[in-house]
Structure 1
Amino acid sequence: MARRRGGPVIAAPDRALQGAAEVLDILVDPGTFQSWDDPVDHGHLEEDYARDLGRAREVTGLDEAVVTGRATIGGRPVGVIASDFRFLGGTIGVLTARRIAAAFRRAAREGLPVVAAPSSGGTRMQEGTHAFLAMLDIAEALRVFRETGRAYLVYLRHPTTGGVMASWGSLGHVTFAEPGALVGFLGPRAVEAITGEAIPEGVQRAENLADVGLVDAVVSPSQIRSVLDRALGLMSAPDGGSPAGDVTGSPPASQVAVRAAVPTNPWDAVLATRDARYPRFQDLVRSLGDVLPLSGTAEGAAESGVGVVLARFGRLNAVVVGQTGDPGRPLGPDSLRIARRGIRLAGELGLAVVTVIDTPGATLSAAAEEGGLAGQIARTLGDLTALQVPTVSVLLGQGCGGAALALLPADRTVASSHAWISPLPPEGASAIVHRTPDLAPRVARHQGIGLGGLLRLGIVDEVVAYPAGGAAGNEEFLAGLRERIGDHLAQVTPAERGPVGTPAAEPGAVPVRPGVTGTAGGRPEARMERYRRIVGLPLVA
């Protein structure tokens, strides 16, 4: 896999897929596709349109521009929606929309994830406004489907534009695209005809969309089934954990499992975590093995201050949201938007969340202010505190300011022995209190920014040693950290969901996963109890 500035590119470009049968051959396990489609009757049509439909049927052997059905990918049952671009450019007429909406509703009833592979010019112009408004039915059916907590994966093929991209093509939990695929709101020919100006070359190509955070990865057709298999495996709900999931607050400091001598001087921890050799989020991700990185916000923003990956800890899947920890790269508002995408994804799918805190602080600039930095910190905090899914936060290294606080709330917190949290960089706090940054070491000790202070406040459940030898022991440290994260996830995760393909209890009902959305009480109430205790503790001068 070659890493780009945005999403990865997996394998080399293949030719674009055209026919639905060819698409099914590369998407699903051989011989497993079972159609859901009833024959359609277009009724009496204008002569030219009827002739065009007849030709499309002859070329494709299909009665409409999409096929839907049930199949397996890697042995996992899925619902499938695949376009055939040869059928009037894959355009969506009223009956096409009805078929797509029916597929989402059936997948919801049967408890199946859905894999969609659109290739379309958008709304069918021969049916005009009637077909255009039929997109609303697709949008509603997809909304209901996503409420079931099952995964929706999209593979954007060349080309995908118009109403398709503006509805079911853009709403995947995870989105892949063919190499070189033309993907956009309106095709370049239509843009130029309407505006009189050509859209810049490359803007609507899959690779650029991966760079700007709209596509998670560019994947060749020869590799897409294996990538979908991995994604589906990492997006399924828990099949392990404790019987009920322990969501009680942190134990007293005297009962915390401390696997290290905590530095007595917090300034030593500050210097250690600023060292370029200190382990970062990327190092932890590499130690996890099979992961699937996501790119950007899925809404057109990409920034390198935060990464989001789908990963597995033992038998439990999780969305891991981590600050990349570069001492010279503070967090901007788009980094927090990326974090919020990961948090929302976990909430929708019922996956655990692991947050990794290691940041020199937030970006201090006019652009960050105008981009709503403060509001993004507040919204990230709100998203995390309201989650009904299990959460573990990891204090890996630097914990500076609101950017660090934004990812802290969790059912459990595991910390490196050298982690620290402060409202400002110690130099900044020193400048405010003493009018000079030179007293930062004294301020760091006074403010209790190190693990000693955090243990006294009761917000850390376990401390893992950062080796005395520094970088030479990074692999051992990361292995221990990974193990402890997995153990705490298992302790707070109830085994509460049936396998993929489990239908609703009553015929016709839609199985909505309990606890996906936040409500008052329950897990959020227990999670926040430890933080409420802090305000009742005596102040240490």
Structure 2
Amino acid sequence: MLAEQKVRHLDATALIATVLDPGSYRSWDKPVTDPDPDPAYRAELAAAREKSGVDESVLTGEGLIRGRRVAVIVSEFRFLAGSIGAAAAERIVLAVERATAEGLPLLAGPASGGTRMQEGTLAFLSMIKITAAVRAHRQTGFPYLVYLRHPTTGGVMASWGSLGHITVAEPAALLGFLGPRVYEALHGKPFPENVQVAENLFDKGLVDAVVPPGQLPDIVNRALNILSPGAPAPVGPPPTLGVAPSDAGAWTSIEISRNPRRPDLRQLLAYGARDVLPLNGTGQGEKDPGLLLALARFGEKSCVVLGHSRPRPSQQTAMGPASLREARRGMRLAEELGLPLLTVIDTGGAALSKEAEEGGLAGEIARSLHDLIGLQSPSVSVLLGQGAGGGALALLPADRTVAAQHAWLSPLPPEGASAIVHRSTEFAPAMSASQGVNVAALHANGLIDHIVDERPDAALEARAFCRRMGQAIEYELSLVSASGIGELIPRRLGKYANLGRRLRA
């Protein structure tokens, strides 16, 4: 049982020593000014200072993580359960503002019972000014990373503990809004076991990973390699720019794309990218295996990646509405962090189920199209394999589109189109040809800008194919990133408005 695990939890000083490079920490803290406390509270503060060895419930400062300068805010739970009063709130806000002013990524490590009850409503309201400071930091495009420690509850979990671009948690940490002791006092029964536990929050898509403190420097380093990589070197044109569409028929390409051994998005990231950092879920209680979300670098070019996850054996991963809500998390990250967005299309179709309909799949497809066509970041889409129906369309709009030679895009799987027109699936091959679903037709109509060859089938050369695709992606990301968003959006809108016109002219 998760609730029975015994884990040693680090105090603030030990966490700082574990995460930052040795000897690099410099405190930003100035002596605190206590509110005008009554004698009992004054005694509590004195006892807390003696017990914890620190003057308040948070420590702030800066240090290096793998040589990179980072600001840190870390709770000390031994100081009145890490609770946040006026002095602690002011210390947090000043640290966030300084990190913003100095252009530093910020790592927060909360461990707190929430608002300090001894200071009442004004302490409670301080969560608003902390949130405002974090919002300003995020809006500048500087990374805000959160490591949720045991325990984090109440107003801290409901403010600066839940606003990370990336959020990871300590193993077996108690994490939730209402503390279990408060729940039992109010309701007369214990809170259900293993709900407010880090591992359960990961399963529900609320945190991106669960890692012990010793692994946190690696996670932060990988994240910052992607989010703050420095100026990339110019990217020269890859050999794939000269690749022509395959002369194979549409049905041949469809059959090739359905090979279970065909490289998927996981393999593309493994062989074609570097510094990959998977993210997990919507951050709002949903996680759908039909979509993969990550931060990655292709060559020297960083991006947010979201795309279809091909089903594993015994797993159903057709894209449902939660997948698209997770995709929209990726879109927001790209816009806020100033990164290009890469979408990867490889789906036999969206989920067809009662749950998908009641979850609003059609509306989520519409909102995804709406957000992508107006995305305030450069974007590249990749047709990697199958591209059936609204599930494929939902991730397609982009400034540039790359396609594998045997990818395809269709309103329905060809068998479905055949059933509608001929009341039989046997005309699927003919329907695929007449509908213009293959790369040759899509390229001729102006959708596809760059084709990556298969020699002769990506399933037979997965690593080499993924490397070629990775080079093509790096080039396209570099190309779109060279233009301002004021140029990109009108050009993007014009691309889709003009599809097919070159053949009608």
Q: Which TM-score tier does this pair reach, normalised by the shorter chain? A: over 0.9
Q: Where does the alignment leave 5 or more consecutive residues of structure 1 unmatched?
A: 1-11, 247-255, 496-514
Equivalent position amino acid for 1:45 in 2: P
Query: Which residue of 260, 264, 282 corresponds with 1:297?
Result: 282
Assess if the C-alpha contact under 8 Å between 1:236 and 1:351 holds in 2.
no
| CA-based RMSD | 2.2
Shift of 1:228: 1.0
How far apart are residue 530 of structure 1 and its match? 1.4
Alignment-derived partner of residue 505 in structure 1: none
In the alignment, the residues of structure 2 paired with residue 522 and residue 488 of structure 1 have an alpha-carbon distance, to the nearest angstrom, of 16
Partner of 1:30: 22
* Structure 1 partner of 2:300: 315
Moved more, 159-168 or 275-284: 275-284
Aligned match of 2:166: 174
1:43 CA drift (Å): 4.1
2: CA distance, partners of 1:199 / 1:325: 38
Structure 2 residue identity aligned to 1:527: R
Report the counterpart of residue 386 of structure 1 in structure 2.
374
Task: Please state whether the residue corresponding to 1:395 is helix, strand or coil.
Answer: strand
Partner of 1:131 in structure 2?
123
How far apart in 2 are the matches of 1:373 and 1:53? 53
Which of residues 179, 192, 215 is equivalent to 1:187?
179
The residue that corresponds to 1:533 in the other structure is: 498
Equivalent-residue separation in structure 1 for 2:111 and 2:125 (angstroms): 19
- Residue 8 of structure 2 corresponds to 15
Residue of structure 2 aligned with 1:426, choices 414, 417, 428: 414
Alpha-carbon contact 2:18-2:213 (below 8 Å) kept: yes
**Are the aligned partners of 2:259 and 2:459 in contact in 1 as well (CA < 8 Å)?**
no
Match of 1:326 among 311, 318, 341: 311
Code of the aligned partner of 1:118: P
Alpha carbons 2:75, 2:82 under 8 Å: kept: yes
The superposition leaves residues 482-509 of structure 1 with CA deviations (integer Å, 9 ceiling, x where unpaired) of: 11111222222239xxxxxxxxxxxxxx
SS at match of 1:387: coil
Structure possessing the higher relative contact order (Cα contacts under 8 Å, 6 or more residues apart): 1
Q: For 2:291, which of 306, 320, 326 is the aligned residue?
A: 306
CA 1:373–1:454: 2 relative to 1, 3 Å = same
Q: Is contact 2:245-2:439 (8 Å) kept?
A: no
Q: Which position in structure 2 is the counterpart of 1:376?
A: 364
Aligned to 2:479: 491
Which of 432, 435, 460 aligns to 2:423? It is 435
> Equivalent of 1:396, from 376, 384, 387?
384
1:522 paired with 2:501, answer: no
The amino acid that maps onto 1:456 is A
2:219 maps to 1:235: no
Residue of structure 2 equivalent to 1:273 = 257
Structure 1 residues 367-425: Cα deviation after superposition (integer angstroms, max 9, x where no partner): 11221111211221222222232221110001111111111122221110110001111
Q: Aligned partners of 1:142, 1:210: CA distance in 2, in Å? A: 23
Question: Mean alpha-carbon deviation: is it higher for 266-275 or for 35-44?
Answer: 35-44
In 1: Cα distance, 2:62 partner to 2:478 partner: 32
Seen in structure 2, the aligned counterparts of structure 1 residues 71 and 454 have a Cα distance that, compared at 3 Å, is same
Shift of 1:348: 0.6
Deviation at residue 101 of structure 1 after TM alignment = 1.4
SS in 2 for 1:291: strand
C-alpha deviations, 1:22-62, integer Å up to 9, x for none?
Answer: 12101212222222222112143122211111011112222
Q: Distance in 2 between the 1:13 and 1:391 partners?
A: 46
Partner of 1:161: 153
8 Å contact 1:13–1:178 — kept in the other structure? no
**Cross-structure match for 1:221:** 213
Matched, 1:348 2:336: yes
Whether the aligned pair in 2 keeps the contact of 1:238 and 1:315 (CA below 8 Å) is no
For residue 408 of structure 1, give the secondary structure of its aligned residue in structure 2.
coil
Q: 1:26 to 1:14 in 2, by over 3 A?
A: farther
The whole-number CA distance in structure 2 between the counterparts of 1:362 and 1:194 is: 44
Aligned 8 A contact 2:35 2:86 in 1:
no
SS in 2 for 1:290: strand
Q: Deviations over 1:298-357 (max 9, x none)?
A: 111101111011111222211111111339532100111111111111111111211110
Q: List aligned pairs for 1:93-132, cutoff 5 A.
A: 93-132=85-124
> CA–CA distance in 2 between the matches of 1:43 and 1:296?
41
Aligned positions of 1:401-412 closer than 5 A: 401-412=389-400
Q: Does 1:481 align with 2:474?
A: no
Q: Provide closer, same or farther for how the CA distance between residues 533 and 260 of structure 1 changes in structure 2, counting only shifts above 3 A.
A: closer
Runs (5+) with no aligned partner, structure 2? none
CA contact (8 A) 2:458 2:465 kept: no
1:205 corresponds to:
197
Instruction: Name the residue aligned to 1:284.
Output: 268
CA displacement, residues 183-207 of structure 1 (integer Å, 9 cap, x when unaligned): 1111212122223343221111111
- Residue 289 of structure 1 and its aligned partner are, at CA, apart by 3.8
Which shows bigger deviation, 324-333 or 289-298? 324-333
Would you say the 8 A contact 2:168–2:211 is kept in 1?
yes
Q: Cα distance 1:538–1:464, how it changes in 2: closer, same or farther (>3 A)?
A: closer
> How far did 1:270 drift?
1.4
Taking only the aligned residue pairs, the percentage that are identical comes to: 50
CA distance in 1, matches of 2:57, 2:247: 65
The one-letter code sitting in structure 2 at the alignment partner of 1:305 is: G
Distance 2:220 2:35 in 1: 38
CA contact 1:362–1:401 (8 Å) conserved in 2: yes
Q: Is the 8 A contact 2:113 2:179 kept in 1?
A: yes
Any idea what SS the aligned residue of 1:534 has? coil
**Partner Cα separation in structure 2 for residue 261 and residue 317 of structure 1:** 28
- The AA in structure 2 aligned to 1:321 is L
Answer yes or no: is the 8 Å Cα contact 2:208–2:281 preserved in 1.
yes
Deviations 1:155-206 (A, max 9, x none): 0111011100000001100011111111111121212222334322111111
Q: Distance in 2 between matches of 1:212 and 1:69?
A: 33
Q: 1:446 to 1:374 in 2, by over 3 A?
A: same
2:460 corresponding residue in structure 1: 472
Kept after mapping to 2: 8 A contact 1:238/1:351:
no
User: Is 2:444 the partner of 1:456?
Assistant: yes
Alpha-carbon separation, structure 2, partners of 1:291 and 1:527: 27
Deviates more, 1:25-34 or 1:277-286: 25-34
Q: How much does 1:468 deviate?
A: 2.3
The corresponding residue for 2:54 is: 62
2:445–2:501 CA contact under 8 A, matched in 1: no
TM-score, normalised via structure 1 length = 0.87
Measured in 1, the distance between the counterparts of 2:7 and 2:154 equals 24
- What TM-score results when the alignment is normalised by the length of structure 2? 0.93
Match of 2:402 in 1: 414
Tell me whether 1:264 sits opposite 2:244 in the alignment.
no
Q: Which structure 1 residue ranges, 4+ long, deviate > 6 Å from structure 2?
A: none
The answer as to whether partners of 1:237 and 1:350 remain within 8 angstroms in 2 is no
Alpha-carbon distance, 1:536 to partner = 3.5
Q: Write the letter of the residue equivalent to 2:130.
A: I
Cα deviation, residue 263, structure 1: 4.3
What is the CA distance between 1:440 and its match in structure 2? 1.1
**DSSP-derived class of the 1:169 partner:** helix
Higher helix share goes to which structure?
2
